[in-house]
Amino acid sequence: MTSRLFSRLVVFPERVKERLRKPLGVLVPGTAAEVAGRISSILSDMGVDRVVSVGDVTSEMLLRAGLRPDVMVVDGRAERRMYHGLDMGGFEMLRVSNPAGCITPQAAETVVKAYMSGRPTVVLVDGEEDLLALPLLYHLRERDVLLYGQPGRGCVIVRGGGDVKKLVEDVVGEASRQT
C-alpha cells in the first residue's frame, strides 16, 4: 500500500529535520484557540474533501472547531508532555510504534492504511508521530488536506498533490542519502 519510498527504515539526520521545521504549506498564525476560530471558513474556502491531522493539539483544535478529521495521528503528547485532551469516541483505533527521528515501514503503512480506508480513524503512535505526516502527504489526494502544528506559531495546512509529493520525495531521498 505504501510506496517504495517508505519500504525501509528512514532515519532523519538533524540537517533534514531542520529543513522540516519550516512550514510545508500555508501557516495559519495564532494560538490553537485563535486558529480554531478561523479554520472552518479557511477549509470551506479551499473546497476540501477530507482532512487529516497530525498531532494532539492540532487534532483537538479541529474537534473544538466542530471539524471531525477523517484521520488523526497522535501520540498522547504535546511538546514532549503528556496530553489527555483528545476525544477519540467514534473513531476506529490503530496503534503503531515509531521511534523519534525515524519513519518505520510499519508506521508508514499504518497511517496510509488509515487514510485509504475512508473510515474515521485515530492512529495512536508509541513514540513520535510528527514525521508520519510525510507518508500521508505523499499519498494525499489533491482535494484533501493535512494539518499539523507549528509550535509557537500556529497551524500549517498542506494540500495534497504533485508539488507536495515531489517535496516528500526530495526530503526522504535526502534523509536516505545521509544515513
Mean pLDDT of the region 29-40: 89
Considering only CA atoms, which of 10, 48, 12 is closest in space to residue 147?
A: 48
Q: State how beta strands 10-11 and 154-159 pair.
A: unpaired
CB atoms within 10 A of CB 106: 13
**Residue 80 pLDDT:** 53
- pLDDT tens digits, one per residue of 106-134: 999 999 999 999 999 999 999 999 999 99
For residue 89, the 8-state DSSP code is T
The span from the CA of 16 to the CA of 173, in Å, is 10
**Residue 98 pLDDT:** 98
Query: Which pLDDT band holds residue 87 (cuts at 50, 70, 90)?
Result: low
